[in-house]
Chain A
């Protein structure tokens, strides 16, 4: 990387630690809490029960927004991985770390909510159905990337390896999305405005926007934590060479 690009990279890492972004993040989180409370209240107490699933269908108002936002976070991780590999700028490594972590939390939540919904509707907590299986693969693939990042000390190797791993893991994300169209699945097709009754729009969209704001707020703060750590690592002097022999003092 040329000198002026290195300077720009340092400035960007510094920007990640700026206070203005934190204020925006806290504001987004506060709005998200309000939206999620309103959406959940509407979904639990105002929206009518569904014709066949009855009240159990109310789980949709948290499950579907979680799914949309989990995929969005993992797509952002994929974009960050590509941008890191093309530009070698640390800011994209920090954003990748944040997006993968938030995506893993939402994917985990997605699986738990799905299991709770599956029990009364399918009669089982879990089934090796294409949608559920590909979602589980997605969750464990991205958990493996977080584990990889924890196990590598060298910042450059960690950034490059996790960017490549993220691109590989992301192959499963469109498979998760299209699995219900490609294969015969127990899981219903994607919920779209055409498949969801207008009576269900308000809580679904309110919670979706709520989780989206929460996702953005959390990713801003989490990427700043990662950026701060990367900056410390880059500023630290290289470790002293390991001695050839180790003397044991008695």
Chain B
């Protein structure tokens, strides 16, 4: 034990993975809702 955190790449990949998943999912959701609202307003 030297007070320095060893390893931890699993946590790093988890944080980046969750970030990518949430941002991609939300972006896709907003774009789909926008396309749907555009179609509805054109009708």
Residues of A within 8 A of B (CB): 17, 22, 29, 36, 40, 44, 51-56, 58-59, 62-63, 66, 105, 108-109, 112-113, 116-117, 119-121, 211, 214, 218, 221-222, 224-225, 228-229, 231-232
A7 to chain B, nearest CB (A): 19
User: Closest CB-CB distance, A219 to chain B, in whole Å?
Assistant: 9
Q: CA of A229 to CA of B18 in the docked complex: distance in angstroms?
A: 31
| Chain A residue with Cβ nearest B40 | A228
Interface residues on B, range: 20 to 34
Which chain B positions have C-beta within 8 A of A52? 3-5
Q: What is the distance, in angstroms, from A76's C-beta to the closest C-beta of chain B?
A: 16
Residue of B nearest to A218 (CB): B30
Q: Write out the residue numbers on chain B whose beta carbons fall within 8 Å of the beta carbon of A112.
A: 15, 18, 22
- B25-43: CB near A (< 8 Å → 1, else 0) gives 0110011011001101100
The listed residue (A62, A108, A218) touching B15 by CB distance below 8 A is A62
> What is the CA–CA distance of A218 and B33 in the complex, to the nearest angstrom?
11
Partner of A56, one of B12, B30, B34: B12
**For chain B, what secondary structure do more than half of its interface residues adopt (helix, strand, loop), or is it mixed?**
helix
Known pairs A17-B41, A229-B37; A218 contacts B27 (CB<8 A): yes
Chain B contacts of A221 at CB under 8 A?
30-31, 33-34
Q: B34: which A residues are within 8 A, CB to CB?
A: 22, 221-222, 224-225
Interchain CB contact under 8 A, A116 and B11: yes
Judge whether A214 and B18 touch: CB under 8 Å.
Answer: no
In the complex with contacts A44-B16, A225-B37, A108-B11 CB distance below 8 A: no
Residues 1-22 of B at the A interface (beta carbon under 8 Å): 3-9, 11-12, 14-16, 18-19, 22
Give A225 to B40 CA distance when docked, in angstroms.
Answer: 11
Choice from B6, B7, B22, B30 contacting A222 with Cβ under 8 Å: B30
Check if B23 sits within 8 Å of A54, measured CB to CB.
no
| Chain A residues with CB below 8 A from B41, complex form | 17, 228, 231-232
